Structure 1
């Protein structure tokens, strides 16, 4: 009888403790953002938005990611306007990613891209993974 009570109590504590850990993963104390875009021309307004959210959130502002997917990746190489925006993104600590699937589909050589762009193998999957981690998401 004593062993049954011990087992039930241990099981109860494990279940309660685990559910709180999962809730903490989802409810981050920081506001983290990810924007999935099919148009590189959207980077400028996204950076303006990131700047305003950083001011609005204050200490609660976390990470800000931009994931670019689709044919628009063709327009990145040797694009001085886009490179200037990437420098601005870096200064604002906004991480800009391109989708590896799109690079392959449109035969874009990753070496032709600016060095401060990060490549994620699958941009859509990465967006969902970030959403599961509690990121606030927007697709434009």
Structure 2
């Protein structure tokens, strides 16, 4: 789970170094906190979203965070997924056997 742009970009670099698509890994970046607002409003992050799509990393944005910052779901890029609660989503990933990291 990432909450700021710096760690978001570090997550993308990690996914790229792991060769997620080539190794057929499942790599999910769960976006929460201030980053949920940034990813909806900062056009400079569109290149990062495109990079995730290219390398096979999925981005899931917390709807509760969007609500907190008064960001409508319609403002999100169509390549992004959402979840009502990022904490519950992380627990569900853990239950499915994912390795998780909160930064």
Q: Deviations over 1:16-72 (max 9, x none)?
A: xxxxxxxxxxxxxxxxxxxx01113322211111122237xx976520000011133
Structure ID, larger Rg: 1
Unaligned runs of at least 5 residues, structure 2: none
1:71-110 correspondence runs (5 A): 71-110=34-73
Match of 2:6 among 34, 38, 41: 41
Task: Report the equivalent of 1:21.
Answer: none
CA distance in 1, matches of 2:64, 2:40: 17
Deviation at 1:76, TM superposition (A): 2.2
| Matched-pair contact (CA < 8 Å) for 1:40–1:73 | no
1:70 aligns with 2:33: yes
Runs (4+) of structure 1 exceeding 4 A deviation are 58-61
Larger relative strand fraction: 1
Q: Deviations over 1:84-106 (max 9, x none)?
A: 00000000110001101111122
TM-score by length of 1: 0.66
Larger relative helix fraction: 1
Superposition RMSD in Å: 1.9
Count of paired positions: 103
Deviation at 1:130, TM superposition (A): 0.4
